[in-house]
């Protein structure tokens, strides 16, 4: 019997690539009232620099908080090759403070973050993977498109913060982070509960 390439890739990601959640699986709560949102983008200091800075600006505009929680931000370069991407996602999900990740939807990122029970906000990639059973080891959707907002004076605020005109990805980054923060705030007192944040995603 011929195995579909997608099914084979998921199997390799979950097994052959040494998937390890570091104790994070099927969601769970972040201990304490400080949580971390991860940004996993290729070339985060180059072609995706504006996207990452847009995320930073959204968090700064929120005062570094979502509801009553303090929010940390960690940006990692996910690379362009599947083994590198798997390693970077694995590194993120070993952080006990992770609450969500902003990263493109791919056959590598979706099943890894889903198995860990972590909200994935995908600015790009194949969001259709959310309907692929083999990409959802948790058995529920955890990957969504960003649907946040940007302020009317976004360009000027970006220039004030970073000393340059925002590029094409800056608004996307702002919207992605904005939508994550809204979900955390909407979860209320359960904003440090990964499943509650997934359920509250707008």
Which CATH number do you get for residue 129? 3.40.50.2300
Which structural domain range is residue 132 located in? 5-200
Give the list of residues 6+ apart from residue 8 with CB closer than 8 angstroms, or none.
none
Total domains in the fold of the chain:
1
For every one of its 202 residues, what pLDDT tens digit does the chain have, with 9 covering 90 and above? 443 444 444 444 444 444 444 447 889 999 999 999 999 999 988 999 999 999 999 999 999 999 999 999 999 999 999 999 999 999 999 999 999 999 999 999 999 999 999 999 999 999 999 999 999 999 999 999 999 899 999 999 999 999 999 998 999 999 999 999 999 999 999 999 999 999 999 7
The sheet with strand 34-41 has its strands ordered as 65-66, 69-77, 34-41, 98-102, 119-121, 143-144
pTM: 0.89
């Amino acid at each position: 019997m011929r195995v579909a390439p997608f099914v084979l890739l998921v199997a390799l990601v979950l097994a052959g690539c040494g998937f390890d959640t570091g104790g994070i699986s099927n969601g769970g709560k972040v201990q304490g009232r400080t949580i971390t949102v991860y940004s996993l983008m290729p070339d985060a200091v180059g072609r995706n620099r504006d996207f990452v800075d847009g995320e930073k600006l959204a968090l700064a505009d929120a005062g570094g908080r979502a509801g009553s929680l303090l929010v940390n931000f960690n940006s990692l370069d996910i690379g362009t090759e599947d083994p590198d991407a798997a390693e970077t996602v694995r590194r993120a999900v070993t952080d006990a403070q992770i609450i969500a990740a902003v990263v493109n939807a791919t056959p590598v990122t979706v099943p890894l973050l889903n198995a860990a029970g972590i909200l994935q906000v995908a600015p790009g990639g194949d969001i259709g993977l959310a309907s692929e059973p083999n990409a959802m080891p948790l058995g529920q959707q955890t990957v969504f498109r960003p649907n946040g907002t940007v302020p009317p004076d976004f360009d000027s605020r970006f220039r004030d913060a970073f000393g340059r005109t925002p590029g094409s990805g800056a608004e996307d980054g702002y919207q992605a982070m904005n939508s994550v923060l809204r979900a955390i705030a909407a979860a209320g007192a359960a904003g440090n509960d990964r499943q509650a944040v997934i359920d509250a995603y707008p």
